[in-house]
Amino acid sequence: MPAKQIALLEQVAAANQNVVVVLSNGSVVSVAPWAKNAKGILESCLLGQAGGPALADVIFGQVSPSGKLAQSIPLDISDDPSTLNWPGEEGHVDYGEGVFVGYRYYDTYGKVVDYPFGYGLSYATFEIDDVAAAKTGANTATVTATVTNTSDVDAAETVQVYVAPGKADVARPKHELKGFTKVFLKAGESKTVTIDLDERAFAYWSEKYNDWHVESGEYAIEVGTSSRDIADTVAVALDGDGKTQPLTEWSTYGEWEADPFGAKIVAAVAAAGEAGELPKLPDNAMMRMFLNSMPINSLPTLLGEGGKKITAFMLDEYAKLSK
Q: Do 111 and 153 share a domain, yes or no? A: no
50 within some domain? yes
pTM: 0.86
- pLDDT over 90 (residue 313): yes
246 within some domain? no
Q: Do 207 and 302 share a domain, yes or no? A: no
Q: Do 139 and 96 share a domain, yes or no? A: no
243 within some domain? no
Residue that terminates a domain, selected from 209, 238, 267 = 238
Q: Do 68 and 23 share a domain, yes or no? A: yes
Q: Assess contact for 99 and 173: CB atoms under 8 A.
A: yes
Q: How many CB atoms lie within 10 A of CB 162?
A: 25
- CATH code, 95: 3.40.50.1700
3-state class (DSSP) for residue 83: helix
- CATH code, 142: 2.60.40.10
244 within some domain? no
Mean pLDDT, to the nearest integer, of 124-138?
Answer: 97
Among the residue ranges 93-97, 175-179, 209-213, the one predicted with the least confidence is 93-97
Give exposure, 196-228, as e/b (b: 16+ Cβ within 10 Å): ebeeebbbbebeeeeeebbbeeebbbbbbbbbb
Q: Assess contact for 253 and 294: CB atoms under 8 A.
A: yes
What sign for the dihedral angle of Cα 255, 258, 262, 263? positive
273 within some domain? yes
245 within some domain? no
Model confidence pLDDT, tens digit, residues 59-76: 999 999 999 999 999 998
Cβ-proximal residues to 162 (8 Å cutoff; 6+ apart), any chain: 175, 176, 177, 178, 221, 222, 223, 224, 227, 230
- pLDDT over 80 (residue 137): yes
- pLDDT over 90 (residue 245): no
- pLDDT over 80 (residue 216): yes
Peptide bond into 74 cis (omega under 30): no
Residue that terminates a domain, selected from 115, 138, 170 = 115
Number of structural domains in the chain: 3
Q: Do 317 and 275 share a domain, yes or no? A: yes
- pLDDT over 90 (residue 83): no
Q: What percent of the chain is modeled with pLDDT above 70? A: 100
71 within some domain? yes
- Residue 272, domain extent: 253-321
Q: Do 232 and 260 share a domain, yes or no? A: no
220 within some domain? yes
Q: What percent of the chain is modeled with pLDDT above 90? A: 75
Residue that terminates a domain, selected from 92, 115, 138 = 115
Q: Assess contact for 239 and 192: CB atoms under 8 A.
A: no
Q: Do 67 and 130 share a domain, yes or no? A: no
pLDDT band of 243, cuts 50, 70, 90: confident
